Structure 1
Amino acid sequence: MFADYHVHTDFSDDSRYPLEDVIKDAIAMKMDEICITDHVDYGIKVDWDSGKEIVYRHNDPLANVDYPKYMRAIKDMQAKYGDKITIKTGLEFGIQMHTIDQFEQLFQRYPFDFILLSVHQVEDKEFWTQDFQRGRSQQQYNERYYEEMLHLVENYQNYCVLAHMDLITRYDEAGIYPFEKIKPLIEKILSIVIQNGKGIEFNTSYGRYGLKDTTPSIDILKLYHELGGKIITIGSDSHKPEHLGAGFDEAKRILKNLGFETFCTYQNMQPIFHQL
């Protein structure tokens, strides 16, 4: 089974990769299944029909997915290419504690196969701009990041897996923060995830970001396995053609070496297990 479960199209504000091109490329790669997971980030982005002014950054709108168009487009792709590839409907929820209610309302509006829970911002401050890290020590911003994640998994249930769990590492200009210092927080998060029947993602983007470790780290993956975690998806976090489906053979090899036997796809928010 070759299935990419973290894919962005031009419905995301940070991608210009047309949905139909994504599907055609996936078919050409002989992908069995693909889940479209475009961005929603309440707090820093608005909905197209919110009535609020759309702010533009680098000619790209700071706006969430245009949901009616998105759902129709995915249905059109399922009808057009469903005999060649299975296409699932998802979103990537960039949740913060103060935006939970907005995401809950969105989740109730549409039928989804799969939802990624991501922490892209904390206190409406982004990581990639260093706004979140500025004025904090490395210890402070790492701990605050995982504290937000802990509060989210304690208070929100309508998701499938945690995406790129140690995303903060990608934007940590001070280097790798020692795992042992944040292990207690991460263990609490993973224990709740497992207890609630949720999972985590193996995100294959670490290579293109030049990271020295996987995403999440080998330490996190080991801990998840030790705690009894079994639900894991594999996603490229693709925004461009060259990202799609990249690194999947390596991902499966790493997971098998760590003791995982299966990975998951989803239907109607329920995991389906496949042998690695």
Structure 2
Amino acid sequence: MKYRYLSDCHTHSDCSRDASDPTMMLCECACRLGLYALTITDHCECNVYEEDGYDRSVRQSYFEARKASAVFHGRLHVRAGVEIGQPMQNLAAAEEILDACDFDFVLASVHNVRGMPDFYELDYSQVDITKVLHLYFDEILETIEWGKFDSLAHLTYPWRYIVGEHGLAIDNAQFSGRIDEVLKALIKKGKALEVNTSGLRQKLGDTMPNLPIVERYHELGGKLITLGSDAHRWPDVCGGVEQGMELIKKAGFTHFSLYSHHEPKLLPIE
């Protein structure tokens, strides 16, 4: 490994419905790769919290992460986290699970806007993409104002499907003002921006967000940044994270953040 403190702060175990491998397997992989830290951030989709059993699976994920932390003590720093999806669509669910578990790290994400399916499932021939993206940024801003999280996951998530999977063009300049709103809101609230590297191994071929947005975050005064592979299986643990480190360094950052009990520890990029 090129970087001394290389860490993956966004991973999914088999406690996520769309992931396949147990926490222990993810940690074994992280150890083999020489990672400094691994954070388990299984899904909690608030809009289907009880219907899809997230009220149970997230508690199990928390237990597994804490168990792994003890098992791998001295070899790997294991953090217990969660990816809170669509918290504004069911605030009671979001706040219930955050009260139930003493997480180290909370990612906030928006996978779908109110009344619509996940961007993965959306039929783009039947919607006004510009309108949907404005709704996406609206909901992200609501989430930041709520503020009960540590880092904003994969800003530009819709690009993974609109551009990457469907090959539809988006005029990024058209949304630069909205993106600035998000970045400024994060800075004002003292929240981190995640660089999600999953797009590098997918058709999108880029991080979420990409370099120009990360550079803009730095330019605006952003200091807190996290890195995550968004792995849903053990072979993808740390996938692209070294490239992510190179990207944030190019954007002007000298440190990235690793969270423990919601407190960011700034680790040098070295």
TM-score by length of 1: 0.89
Residues 114-144 of structure 1: per-residue CA shift (max 9 Å, x gap): 000010111142111115x463222112212
CA gap 1:114/1:7 in 2 versus in 1, 3 angstroms: same
Q: Which structure: greater helix fraction?
A: 2
Hey, what's the Cα distance between the residues in 1 that align with 2:83 and 2:33?
23
The answer to whether the 8 Å contact 1:138/1:174 transfers is: no
Matching of residue 28 in structure 1 with residue 45 in structure 2: no
Hey, what's the Cα distance between the residues in 2 that align with 1:244 and 1:201?
16
Match of 1:130?
A: 122
The answer to whether the 8 Å contact 2:58/2:82 transfers is: no
Alpha-carbon distance, 1:199 to partner: 1.0
Alpha-carbon distance, 1:252 to partner: 1.2
Alpha-carbon distance, 1:207 to partner: 1.6
The answer to whether the 8 Å contact 2:66/2:79 transfers is: no
Matching of residue 46 in structure 1 with residue 49 in structure 2: yes
The answer to whether the 8 Å contact 1:232/1:263 transfers is: yes
Hey, what's the Cα distance between the residues in 1 that align with 2:31 and 2:119?
34
SS for the counterpart of 1:151 is helix
67-76 or 27-36: bigger deviation: 67-76
Hey, what's the Cα distance between the residues in 1 that align with 2:167 and 2:134?
14
Equivalent residue for 2:187, pick from 185, 194, 212: 194
Residues 142-161 of structure 1: per-residue CA shift (max 9 Å, x gap): 2121111112212x111011
Hey, what's the Cα distance between the residues in 1 that align with 2:234 and 2:167?
31
Matching of residue 268 in structure 1 with residue 258 in structure 2: no
The answer to whether the 8 Å contact 1:113/1:266 transfers is: yes
Instruction: Please tell me the residue identity of whatever aligns with 2:49.
Output: V
Instruction: Please tell me the residue identity of whatever aligns with 1:251.
Output: G
Instruction: Please tell me the residue identity of whatever aligns with 1:237.
Output: D
Hey, what's the Cα distance between the residues in 1 that align with 2:233 and 2:243?
20
Aligned length, in residue pairs: 260
Hey, what's the Cα distance between the residues in 2 that align with 1:146 and 1:186?
8
* Unmatched runs of 5 consecutive residues or more in structure 1: 53-61
TM-score by length of 2: 0.91
Matching of residue 118 in structure 1 with residue 109 in structure 2: yes
Instruction: Please tell me the residue identity of whatever aligns with 1:195.
Output: K
Q: Indicate the RMSD between aligned Cα atoms, in angstroms.
A: 1.6
Matching of residue 233 in structure 1 with residue 233 in structure 2: no
Instruction: Please tell me the residue identity of whatever aligns with 1:94.
Output: G
Instruction: Please tell me the residue identity of whatever aligns with 1:157.
Output: G
The answer to whether the 8 Å contact 1:96/1:122 transfers is: no
Match of 1:57?
A: none
* Unmatched runs of 5 consecutive residues or more in structure 2: none
Equivalent residue for 1:257, pick from 235, 242, 250: 250
Hey, what's the Cα distance between the residues in 1 that align with 2:62 and 2:42?
11
Instruction: Please tell me the residue identity of whatever aligns with 1:170.
Output: R
Alpha-carbon distance, 1:174 to partner: 5.4
Matching of residue 152 in structure 1 with residue 143 in structure 2: yes
Give percent identity, aligned residues only: 28
Match of 1:56?
A: none
The answer to whether the 8 Å contact 1:13/1:63 transfers is: no
Alpha-carbon distance, 1:96 to partner: 4.4
Shift >4 Å, 4+ stretches: none
The answer to whether the 8 Å contact 2:62/2:103 transfers is: no
Instruction: Please tell me the residue identity of whatever aligns with 1:33.
Output: A
Alpha-carbon distance, 1:214 to partner: 2.3
Alpha-carbon distance, 1:88 to partner: 0.5
Hey, what's the Cα distance between the residues in 1 that align with 2:103 and 2:243?
29
Hey, what's the Cα distance between the residues in 2 that align with 1:12 and 1:258?
32
Hey, what's the Cα distance between the residues in 2 that align with 1:211 and 1:71?
31
SS for the counterpart of 1:66 is helix
Alpha-carbon distance, 1:195 to partner: 0.7
The answer to whether the 8 Å contact 1:179/1:219 transfers is: no
